[in-house]
Amino acid sequence: MVIEDFTLEELKPNQYLVKTAVTLISPGTETAFLMALPNTPRKFPMYPGYSNAGEIADVGRDASKFKVGDRVVSRMNHASHVVADEDGLVRIPDGLSFEEASFFALGSIALQGIRKTCVELGESVVVLGQGLVGNLALQLAKLSDGMPVIAVDTYDFRLGISRKCGSDFVFNPTQVSLKECVDDVTDGKGADVVVEASGNPQAIATALELAGRRARVIILGSPRGTSEVDFYSAVHRKAVSVIGAHETARPLHESSHGWWTEQDDTSLVLKLIDKGLLETKDLVTAKMSFLKAEEAYRQLTESKDKTLGIILDWKNT
């Protein structure tokens, strides 16, 4: 990992120059790409990041939606300045910090996955993996009236944060029989919804095992490898629905106002954070200068038992 200078491209008429305040590292995707795991590009150099929060510094001659000084988020990378199209920017609510706003992208990814669960009031929801996306998915499942919502992870550190964020139950499968625990808190029925958010291909079989009859299993985390599943017993006999939830599978189902788009979900996530309905502050383990980015990635890959979210600070560039 290196930090390098670059030359800004000239603004097109409908573009904006954004001076970055902070960027949030996406731990699962970015470390998987860094380590060239299966189902990643495995091409270098690459310029990662898609959770940029900053301030408009210059405006193209035909751009009118934002003005200099407006605070915005965009799916642009880790850089001191970025150039973005008008439709790629979303305004940050007044009073919401850059740091909180930087969770917009991971929140949007989690939200489209939870929308695909179609969870109803009183349905039990298990979320496997309590990284950033898994934790946000858990919170959104609870906001969608899932009951109980159950967090699963192999790190007690993460489960402690999940409990603070509203999980009804937390289970570490290295310490308990996960199937027995889930059956116990779902009155022996198994989970109505299981969200696989770890990206571990072996966890897909676990998700199917925990699912009850006619349950929905949502593959939210991108599997980094192949999975082995007995479809007869795990899917066919139980009438389980398996739903892929990569966020590029948009637009989602039609709502009363139209199709749910990435911008719709981004705006909603920012509003939920602003209203205190989606917790992000507890998800930040550290905030570091961008100059310490190498250390940030090292922590995310080597200290998963005590590291969750890391924000890079660009405000002093």
The domain locations on the chain are 15-103+280-313, 109-244
Counts for the chain of helices (H) and strands (E), in that order: 10, 15
- Largest alpha-carbon pair distance within the chain? 63
pLDDT at 252 over 80: no
User: Are the C-beta atoms of 312 and 19 separated by less than 8 Å?
Assistant: no
User: Are the C-beta atoms of 275 and 252 separated by less than 8 Å?
Assistant: no
In tens, the pLDDT along 256-313 reads: 566 888 999 999 999 999 999 999 999 999 999 999 999 999 999 999 999 999 999 9
* Residue among 96, 94, 48, 98 nearest 73 (CA): 98
In tens, the pLDDT along 114-127 reads: 999 999 999 999 99
Strand partners, 170: 151
Q: Report the distance separating Cα 220 and Cα 201, nearest Å.
A: 12
pLDDT at 156 over 70: yes
Which numeric CATH code is attached to 15-103+280-313?
Answer: 3.90.180.10
Residue 224's alpha-carbon distances to 30, 195, 207, 241, 269, in angstroms, are: 12, 16, 16, 21, 27
Q: Report the distance separating Cα 60 and Cα 85, nearest Å.
A: 10
User: Are the C-beta atoms of 178 and 154 separated by less than 8 Å?
Assistant: no
Residue 161's alpha-carbon distances to 45, 131, 206, 307, 311, in angstroms, are: 34, 10, 22, 11, 17
In tens, the pLDDT along 163-203 reads: 999 999 999 999 999 999 999 999 999 999 999 999 999 99
Q: Report the distance separating Cα 250 and Cα 262, nearest Å.
A: 8
pLDDT for position 117 = 94
DSSP state, 241? E
Report the topology of domain 109-244.
Rossmann fold (3.40.50)
Q: Report the distance separating Cα 165 and Cα 173, nearest Å.
A: 20
* Residue among 158, 98, 87, 86 nearest 308 (CA): 158
Query: Considering Cα of 100, then 220, then 131, then 39, what sign does the dihedral take?
Result: negative
**Collapsing DSSP states into helix, strand and coil, what is residue 225?**
coil
User: Are the C-beta atoms of 16 and 74 separated by less than 8 Å?
Assistant: no
H or E stretch covering 310: strand 309-313
Q: Is 151 exposed, middle or buried (0-12, 13-18, 19+ CB in 10 A)?
A: buried
- pTM greater than 0.75 (yes/no): yes
